Amino acid sequence: MAFLSACKGETSTETQTVTKTVGAGSTVTVTQTAGAGSTVTVTQPGTTVTGTGGGTAPAGLLHLIVNNIDYWGVVEPQWTLAYVLREKLGLTGTKRGCDAGDCGYCTVIMDGVPIESCIYLAIEADGKKIETVEGFNQSDKLTPLQQAFIDNDGLQCGFCTPGMLMTAKALLAFKPKATEAEIREHMAGVLCRCGSYMTIIKSIQSMTA
Ligand code: FES
Ligand code: FES
């Protein structure tokens, strides 16, 4: 099932219906209409549950707010947030390295806090506000943080850069005048296989001056 999306305040007539087998001959039919405030109706044999878009997802219908865009979709309980972002929403800026919570490449910001999306189940992200590296593309200009990485050679191959940017963004939002020691401690969870640590720290430090 594809995810439907709609920007905040946008009225969308996009609809889709999906029927899933949920075991023992029982099925759940989901009919959904994209758009903030739209109504989502879930019908199971003998039961009808009605929810409102933006509220809690009924019967496995996930609602994610990614970079200020609403998405709804049915997810499998074992799917990670990184998998849904990349494979279902097409937001491949979030990278997967270890898939075990060790490298930090998959870091996204959830409700202001950086998290490793490869070890975070998508169903636990229901109703949460998520920022990915694609959220930097709000205009045709680079953000100051992106520019700082370029000006200070804060990357080589760039594979770790989405995780570095999201982790640094969360730190600077929380602590705009972070010291070098605080930057080093906060960034310790994101590895750089190219070894660009010195210039990455310098890039972030340039934002605190
Ligand atoms: S891919 Fe998530 S921490 Fe490595
Ligand atoms: S720039 Fe290559 S992994 Fe960091």
Mean pLDDT of 157-184: 97
97 CB under 6 A from ligand 2? no
Residues contacting 193, CB < 8 A, separation 6+: 157, 159, 160
98 in ligand 1 pocket by Cβ < 6 Å? yes
Residue 199 has pLDDT above 90, yes or no: yes
The answer, yes or no, to whether any atom of ligand 2 lies below 6 A from the CB of 159, is yes
The pLDDT of residue 49: 37
pLDDT recorded at residue 62: 78
The answer to whether 89 touches 29, Cβ cutoff 8 Å, is no
Tell me the ligand closest to 82's alpha carbon: 1
Q: Which residues contact 98 (CB under 8 A, 6 or more apart)?
A: 105, 118
pLDDT at 52: 40
Q: Is the pLDDT of residue 37 over 70?
A: no
Q: What is the pLDDT, as a whole number, of residue 19? A: 53
Q: Does residue 159 have its Cβ closer than 6 Å to ligand 1? A: no
Alpha helices in 112-205 (DSSP H): 144-151, 161-174, 180-187, 197-205
Angle of CA points 159, 152, 202, to nearest 5°: 90
Ligand 1 pocket, mutate which of 94, 96, 121, 187 (most atoms under 8 A from CB) = 96
Asked if 113 and 151 touch (Cβ cutoff 8 Å), the reply is no
Q: C-alpha distances in angstroms, 97 versus 54, 101, 116, 131, 158?
A: 32, 9, 11, 19, 13
Phi, psi of 57 (to 5 degrees): -70, 125
Average pLDDT over residues 85-106: 95
Ligand 2 centre distance from Cα of residue 96 (Å)? 13
Band (pLDDT 50/70/90 cuts) for residue 83 is very high
Residue 189 CB partners (closer than 8 Å, separation 6+): 104, 107, 116, 167
Ligand 1 neighbourhood includes 108 CB (under 6 angstroms): no
Is residue 182 within 6 Å of ligand 1 at its C-beta? no
Structure confidence at residue 58 as a pLDDT band (50, 70, 90): very low
pLDDT tens digits along 10-36: 545 556 555 544 444 444 455 555 544
Distance CA 167, CA 131 (A): 11
Q: How far is the CA of 5 from the centre of ligand 2 (A)?
A: 32
Ligand nearest, relative to CA of residue 158: 2
Q: What class does CATH assign to 144-205?
A: mainly alpha
Per domain, the residue ranges of the chain are 1-74, 144-205
The pLDDT tens digits of the residues spanning 99-136 come to 999 999 999 999 999 999 999 999 999 889 999 999 99
Ligand 2 in contact with 157 (CB < 6 A)? Answer: yes
pLDDT for 3 equals: 59
